[in-house]
Chain A
Amino acid sequence: MKLKILLLTIISVFALVIAAVFTTDYYTSQPSFCGACHMMKKYYNTWESGKHNEVKCIECHYAAPTEKYSLGSKFKGLGQLYTYMSTYTKHTTVRKPSSVNDLSCMTMDCHPRAKLDDKKYAFGERTLFVHKTHFENTIEGQTLHCATCHQHLSAGKHLEVPKQACFLCHFMNTEFNQDRAKCSLCHTIPTKPLQRQKKEVKPGEKPVTHQSLAEAKVDCQSCHYELVFGNGEIKEEECVNCHDVPEISSSADDMELMHQKHVGEQNARCFDCHRPIRHEQLEFLDPIREACFICHPNHHNNQKLLLLGKERQEIMNVPGLMYDVKTNCIGCHIEERLIGGEKVLHGSAEACVACHTEKYYGMPQEWKNKIKEELEYALEIEKDAEQAIKAAENMVSMEKLNEAKGMLRKGQKYLRLVEYGGGVHNYKYSIVLLDDAMNNFEDLIDMLKE
């Protein structure tokens, strides 16, 4: 009898223990459980709304393949929690970011290598991407993992390839359009015609296209320049994010070793250490201004605003006449004059005639004269408006006076833009701005008179 009870107890305890183990294993495998200890709310949210939300955390995130699904790794986690809670001053170990092993991505059920290798992906408008070359031809010392490019950077995406990741490897320590920075590696040549105004092609004529230029072996950089910004230098101040030692070890200059240690072993992301490199077509006016930015921040801004001719309140969008063909400052400022011993580039009508016909020679001067005339008139009305406000100071209600002052300020804003920006940079836009300024001044005078 006693033996029976003992046996029953043992069996039931055994069953309970097994049940408990399975329940624990099941419960701790749930993605919602991970957040109990890990600081991962942001990542959890992006995972939940992303494409991978049916794949559990532990199916991808594990330290070594042997630890996948193992109960032991969970107890290891408990150990980590203890270490985290009990030590708060010096961390002797290096803090590692969460990682995803390549094997967990490239299982037969998910993204097998064979399927990935040769498939072409359209990335942006004219950029094609193939995985194979990235697995095989990497930079010396660099090992590319899935997570090297498929990073988690911006909010809302759990596994996204930020373009900066491409730019960093392709442009760091390279010459423009050389080696791995060659335009044709990623971009296909556009088929858009270059002569937009040419509507009919007569027999015997050969219109200029990107294709015809490529055939004639014209370099891309003859037209497309200033496309890469920044050099992807190391953010040395960020080392301490993972390492508690403030000194930088002498081996930090060894690129191969650093990549092997950080990217190969730890799955570090590019921008944990590097500053991003920008690769974009800037506004065509900025590259020419950028050279002086260090000493003169945002110089010639009024001129730029006039040339762009952006839409404003009650003012229509009027880009400069040469906006479409991206003629920047030095397109027209070709005449060198000496001012105070310094060479200064002045705008010249020669520039107009060089591309257009002789009859446009006088046009810039005509514009200048007209704008000068209008500007003088506008300044006169501005004075009238200021006087009207002064005269009405104690005569009208505070509200009305404030409204009038607001109108004055609005008018002055546009007036100053044309005055300091040189209206000739965008004749039509300048007149539109001046008109609006004058309307404001006149309206406020009328309003105060009433």
Chain B
Amino acid sequence: MSNKEIKSRRDALKTGAAVVATVVATAGLLPKNALAASDNPRWAMVVDLRKCTGCRACTIACKAEYGVALGRFNTVVKNVEFNKFPDTEKHFVPRLCNNCAGEQGKDVPPCVEKCPQAKAGKRMKLGKERYRTGATYKRPDGMILMDMSLCIGCYKCIDACPYGVRSIDPFVKLTLPNREKDLGVGKCTFCAHRVDQGIVPACVNTCEGRARVFGDLNNPDSPVAKLDKEFNLTGTKNKSTMLPGEKTDPHVFYIDPDNILARYKLNKENKQQEFIGTFE
């Protein structure tokens, strides 16, 4: 997409021009009002808990897209059961990286805050916003991405994430000198490589019940913004997001009329268990 490294002042200016050109050229997913303000898109996902059938096609699509290691998952669908027979309830709660915006005012999610290499990369420009890559960083369009070539393997991000999204990835070896023996960290990336090309993430693409919806919150015509308007998701974050008490401002919203999220007890003691083993 419009993501360019800033090399020198002149290049930076050129990038600005290129951004405008690409934004105009790419239709479909890209926001129509991107030209109006300096705004970049703000990618978000809406998960309609009424529609999820627990088929786990998303988990498989994700595995196929990334070649996720055995025993690791970037997205899972949790079986959630409440009450005792005969009043039992069973629900499915799809889980993935929340791509948190971070506490208001701070605007840094906990994983990026704790990463010592969060600013170790190159200066880049997206739209009119400049940012810097790092081992874990937040792109101006809201995606929390990783660059494993900068990671030193301290795993502070794994501890910092309250959702247990991150885990050690046996398929990724670190590359920085002296750290070659350590393993990298894996997590859902919102399929940044697909979104940058103008198509939706693999899990959204494959979702049979259309329970997962992806789009740009800043663009009122996107399906996500429409759902947000209909269900007031961003207005009721305490209800529509996971662990609102952590003040991470997640950007994966759940349409949740049965109050499943509030009753769903996340395994805080062993949070990584949340993302290991789809069948419990």
Contacts and interface: CB of A to CB of B under 8 A. Distances in A.
Nearest to B132: A435
B130 interface: yes
Interface of A: 316-318, 321, 359-362, 370, 381, 384, 427-428, 431-432, 435, 438-439, 442, 445-446
Contact of B116 (A321, A439, A445): A321
B86 interface: no
A380 to B, nearest CB: 8
Interface in B86-109: 106-108
Contacts of A362: 177-178
Given A384-B9, A428-B119, A435-B123, A442 B130 contact: yes
A381 B177 CA distance: 31
B268 to A, nearest CB: 13
A381 B113 CA distance: 27
Nearest to B152: A363
B9 A370 contact: no
Contacts of B123: 435, 438
Contacts of A318: 113
A315 to B, nearest CB: 10
Contacts of B107: 316
Interface in B129-147: 130, 132
B132 A316 contact: no
A321, A427, A431, A432, most chain B CB atoms within 10 A: A431
Nearest 10 Cβ contacts at the A-B interface: A431-B119, A359-B178, A316-B108, A428-B119, A439-B130, A435-B132, A384-B9, A432-B119, A321-B116, A428-B116
Contacts of A439: 130
Contacts of B161: none
Contacts of A431: 119-120, 132
Contacts of B119: 428, 431-432, 435
Contacts of A446: 13, 16
Given A316-B113, A362-B177, A428-B118, 16 more contacts: A316-B106, A316-B107, A316-B108, A359-B178, A359-B179, A381-B9, A384-B9, A428-B116, A428-B117, A428-B119, A435-B119, A435-B130, A435-B132, A438-B130, A439-B130, A446-B16
Interface string B11-30: 01100100000000000000
Nearest to A321: B116
A446 to B, nearest CB: 8
A47 to B, nearest CB: 41
Nearest to B9: A384
A335 B9 CA distance: 40
Nearest to B182: A359
30 contacts: A316-B106, A316-B107, A316-B108, A316-B113, A317-B106, A318-B113, A321-B116, A359-B178, A359-B179, A360-B178, A361-B178, A362-B177, A362-B178, A370-B120, A381-B9, A384-B9, A428-B116, A428-B118, A428-B119, A431-B120, A432-B119, A435-B119, A435-B123, A435-B130, A435-B132, A442-B9, A442-B130, A445-B9, A446-B13, A446-B16
Interface residues of B, number: 19
Contacts of B130: 435, 438-439, 442
Contacts of B106: 316-317
Contacts of A321: 116
A446 B19 CA distance: 15
Contact of A442 (B12, B108, B116, B132): B12
Nearest to B159: A197
Contacts of B177: 362
Contacts of A384: 9
A316 B120 CA distance: 16
Nearest to B107: A316
A142 B108 CA distance: 57
Nearest to B125: A442
Nearest to A370: B120
A355 to B, nearest CB: 14
B125 to A, nearest CB: 9
Contacts of B113: 316, 318
A427 B117 CA distance: 9
A446 B116 CA distance: 31
